[in-house]
Amino acid sequence: MTPSSLRSFLVSPRTLLSSLLISALSLGGGTSPSFAQAPAAAPPPETCGDAKDCLNKGARAHQGKDFVRAARFLPRACEVEPKACNIVGEIFRLGQGGVPKDGNQAALYHGKACDKGLILSCAIEAQLRFHGQEGATVDKSRARIAFEKSCGPDFFDSCANAGVMFATADGGPADPVKARTYYGKACDGGEATACVNLAAMLLNGEGGEADKPKARALFTDHCGKKSALACFNLGLIYAKGLDGAQDLPQALGFLDQACTLGNQTGCTTAQQIREDQAKQQAEAAAAAAKKAGKGKKK
């Protein structure tokens, strides 16, 4: 997997909204929310008071799909409620309700939510910072941090992407130990490409001890699941005898599978092996004929 294969995804803030409203109301203590105070003490209609007041007003505006007002109030509320940061980030990322799309503002607020421990925002910020979505400034070092933070049961693809970045020195120095660790987590979570990348590291002893039997098992499993790269690597293992004796018929079978699945290197490698075999057979036949000719002269 290359960095360009890092996946993008869309996240709906609707689930967050209900919990945000609960937080907003609870932050007001046991008294009435600040927006319900006497008119004389209330701030002007298009402003809010402290962070709690902004949270209440922003949550109400968002619930009523008044995204312009929500985007005005919730940034201040971000100081006390990470979910407010997330919702503002989504308003700017999606350009909701007449608010212009702004990738930098989206990344800023998702970054704030991420730093406050909201894993969902870490995953979104990582994509914004890696790909420069919606005009966000590309920041590979921050993307790598955000992929690390969001790696887990909800975002195994973030584990895979962190693995790629550590393996390829993207966004910071290469770290094969971390790359192998993140590939392992992603593979355990069902990310097929991460399993193939992990198998390559296990085969070559990168980031830890070599484990050729496990590497071959992973390649075999994912070749059966139509991974062209897994079939190609499995073909090389048999062609070079990397985990046992050389077995060219087996190697050609897997290389042909890789070729059929679209791996051009598999095609050329299989062709080269066949050409080498034909050459060796021709040389052997010529040597045998020459030997036979000498025997007749005697």
**109 compared with 16, residue with greater pLDDT:** 109
Helices (H) and strands (E) in the chain, counts: 14, 0
Contact 231, 223 (CB under 8 A): yes
Handedness of CA 127, 130, 131, 136 (dihedral sign): positive
| DSSP secondary structure of 123-155 | HHHHHHHHHTGGGPPP-HHHHHHHHHHH-BTTB
Percent of the chain with pLDDT over 70: 83
Predicted TM-score of the model (pTM): 0.78
| DSSP secondary structure of 168-224 | TT-SS---HHHHHHHHHHHHHTT-HHHHHHHHHHHHHTTTS---HHHHHHHHHHHHH
Q: Is the pLDDT of residue 178 over 80?
A: yes
- Which helix (H) or strand (E) segment holds residue 181: the answer is helix 176-188
Question: pLDDT digits over 209-227, tens only?
Answer: 999 999 999 999 999 999 9
pLDDT for res 10:
31
| DSSP secondary structure of 107-120 | HHHHHHHHHTT-HH
Which residues are bridge partners to 152 per DSSP? 155
Q: Is the pLDDT of residue 266 over 90?
A: yes
**43 compared with 163, residue with greater pLDDT:** 163
Query: Nearest 10 degrees: CA dihedral of 100, 105, 106, 108?
Result: -170
Q: Is the pLDDT of residue 30 over 60?
A: no
Architecture of domain 1-31+44-150: Alpha Horseshoe (1.25)
Q: Which amino acid is at 183?
A: Y
- DSSP assignment letter at 173: -
pLDDT for res 250:
94
pLDDT for res 33:
40
Q: Which amino acid is at 213?
A: P
Long-range contacts of residues 284-288, Cβ cutoff 8 Å, at least 24 apart: none
What is the average per-residue pLDDT within 245-274?
A: 95
The Cα–Cα gap between 142 and 140 comes to 5
pLDDT for res 44:
53
The Cα–Cα gap between 228 and 256 comes to 10
Which of 3-17, 29-43, 102-116 ranks highest by mean pLDDT? 102-116
pLDDT for res 52:
92
pLDDT for res 289:
81
Q: What are the phi and psi torsion angles at 154 (to 5°)?
A: -85, -20
Q: What are the phi and psi torsion angles at 152 (to 5°)?
A: 165, -170
The Cα–Cα gap between 155 and 158 comes to 5
Handedness of CA 180, 265, 239, 188 (dihedral sign): positive
The Cα–Cα gap between 98 and 231 comes to 50
What is the pLDDT of the chain when averaged over all its residues? 86
pLDDT band per the 50, 70, 90 thresholds, residue 9: very low
